Homo-oligomer: A and B are copies of this chain.
Amino acid sequence: MKTKIIRIKEALEKNRSIVLTARCAIIYSGRAEAFLPDGDRFIIIKADRSMVIHQPTGSNPVNHMREGASVSIEQSGKNAILKAAHLANKEYLDIELKKIYSVHDQCLDDGQKQVIAGTEKDMADMLFSNPEIVEKGFRPLSTEEHTKYGFIDVFGYDKDNVLTVVECKRYTAQLNAVQQLRRYVERIRKVRGVDKVRGIIAAPKISSNAEKMLKDWGFRHIVVKPPNYLERFDRKQSKL
């Protein structure tokens, strides 16, 4: 135990990343209050002083601290206390280490950022570049138009020159989405001083309640799936 504590202390001083497996109890105070009794866990302490704690099952961390915490370890009788405090966030995490099974510390090097495709923004871009997907004669003016009441995914004129707001959803559009659309349409009516503004939900599906509200408001739904660039990329690759 003592050797491992010293090793952790040194790694912290050298600002190395650390992975522990240990039996411990955890007390957290911050956005909420949480307590977790003794059990075996993974603990990751990164060089930027963020921390992640995982139980032996499940994909979600049981607790974490965001980058910029101050982390320290102290012996306390037979045990050790690993403390992390994030003053700016008013968060405090105390880990009472009852048994340290393993310690690994290392400097890690990674400057990469993940590229994601198939997001709502990708959908909006697709509709902007291929307006006929929305409707024949649709002429988009902008994507991600910012208004005071939020930003509009795609905004343009329909074939009869009526202002049209398109709200994209990657999955099933729900009540929420219809209200969002309603808010934008109301807003545009007011700001532009026009009576007639159309609203369209672009989504692969719509829930029945949402559809009802949609009709009540005179809006419509078009079936659109989000694009999957990487999938296409993979298919191309698989031909090689």
Contact = CB atoms under 8 A, between A and B. Distances in A.
A137 B59 CA distance: 46
A56 interface: yes
A46 B54 CA distance: 10
Given A50-B58, A56-B46, A104 B21 contact: yes
B230 A56 contact: no
Contact of A116 (B32, B41, B59): B32
A59 B54 contact: no
A217 interface: no
A110 B40 contact: yes
A42 B42 CA distance: 11
Contacts of A65: 59
Nearest to A64: B59
A143 interface: no
A118 B19 contact: no
Interface string A159-200: 000000000000000011001000100000000000000000
Nearest to A231: B33
Contact of A36 (B59, B66, B112): B112
A195 B2 CA distance: 71
Q: Which of A66, A104, A113, A228 has the most CB of B within 10 A?
A: A104
Nearest to A34: B116
Contacts of A109: 39-40, 56
Contact of A106 (B66, B101, B110): B101
Contacts of A39: 109-112
Contacts of A115: 34-36
Given A39-B112, A114-B34, A231-B29, A59 B52 contact: yes
A231 B209 CA distance: 40
10 contacts: A19-B19, A21-B108, A27-B230, A32-B116, A33-B231, A36-B115, A46-B59, A52-B54, A57-B67, A59-B65
